[in-house]
Amino acid sequence: MAAAQRILRWEGCFNVRDLGGIAISGDGETRPGAFVRADSLEDLSGAGWAALVSHGIRTVVDLRNPEEIGPDRAPRPQDLVTLNVPLDDVADTDFWAMCHNQELDGSPLYYGPFLERKPERCATVMRTLANVEPGAVVFHCGLGRDRAGLISVLLLALAGAAPEDIAADYDLSLVCLAERIRLEEGEARQTYTERVLARRNTTSRVLIEELLGGIEIQDYLREAGVEDCETEALRTRIVGLPKGRRASTGE
């Protein structure tokens, strides 16, 4: 599944894509129609909400803080389940001041420190994604880059995607953000993230490969409080059942 095919056009959003179709270890790929990452959904038009529902979305997981959430531009379909699971922990002002002062936020530079300091926050989101009702799930933040990006890294690493492919998915957000800048401001220029990484003489691929090279995702999640049955539920959603296993019939 080519990157262009994974990008979804939901009117009112600019950074939406399906996490399916990404190669994983064992000569397979992630399952389309399981998890979708996105920017804020509140600007979706009626047509945008219809496209979301047509994609099979049944649950929305909003990673933003309550004070970020505004009214929907168009009515949200009543059958959708929306869960607010804030990831940031804005009360930890010392952490965010450090990220700001060291120019870590807004790029994968903050992922490592966040994972180290906030395992329980990551675990809460992952447990939520593991326990939602059947159907596709969209999780989103504001721009669809940082918080949604971090959860995507965890999901794709858990599925067995290669670090370079996980980084390539991250970079698609920069492409979408650059296009938004061009449309809104009439000029093409680097995104904030690209400028930060250029000043550090690094790339998202280098940072994500370093991050994943120093962590075993299932062990991390287990220590953070995610049950093994929940990580298996996540894998089953994003990959499918392991070879030789069949879904229970209840008999």
Residues 59-102: tens digit of each pLDDT: 999 999 999 999 999 999 999 999 999 999 999 999 999 999 99
Domain assignment present for residue 148? The answer is: yes
Give the residue carrying structure tokens 């949604």. Answer: 148
- Assess if residue 118 is contained within a domain: yes
Whether residue 22 contacts residue 161, with contact meaning beta carbons closer than 8 Å, is answered with: yes
In-domain check, residue 251: no
Does residue 243 sit within a domain?
Answer: no
Alpha helices in the chain (DSSP H): 3-6, 46-54, 93-101, 111-117, 119-131, 147-159, 163-185, 192-199, 204-213, 217-224, 228-238
Residue whose token pair is 């120019």: 103
| Structural domain harbouring 92 | 3-237
Better-predicted residue by pLDDT, 212 or 247: 212
pTM above 0.85, yes or no: yes
pLDDT at 185: 81
pLDDT at 3 over 90: no
The CATH number given to whatever domain includes residue 176 is 3.90.190.10
Nearest 5°: phi and psi at 84?
Answer: -100, 115
> Which pLDDT score, from 0 to 100, does residue 150 have?
98
What is the rounded average pLDDT of the residues 142-166?
A: 97
Q: What is the pLDDT of residue 250?
A: 35
pLDDT number for residue 1: 62
- Using CA atoms, how far apart are residues 70 and 64, in angstroms rounded to an integer? 11
Query: What does the mean pLDDT of the chain come to?
Result: 93
DSSP string across 198-241 = HHTT--HHHHHHHHHHT--HHHHHHHHT--HHHHHHHHHHHT-S
The answer to whether residue 12 sits within a structural domain is yes
Does 250 reside within a domain?
A: no
In a domain, 247, yes or no: no
Tally the domains of the chain: 1
pLDDT in tens, 27-59: 899 999 999 999 999 999 999 999 999 999 999
Return the minimum-mean-pLDDT range out of 26-30, 83-87, 136-140, 157-161.
Answer: 26-30
With respect to residue 95, please indicate whether it lies within any of the assigned structural domains. Answer: yes
Average pLDDT over residues 150-167: 97
Give the percent of the chain with pLDDT over 70: 95
Burial label for 37, CB within 10 Å (0-12, 13-18, 19+), is buried
Asked if 107 and 193 touch (Cβ cutoff 8 Å), the reply is yes
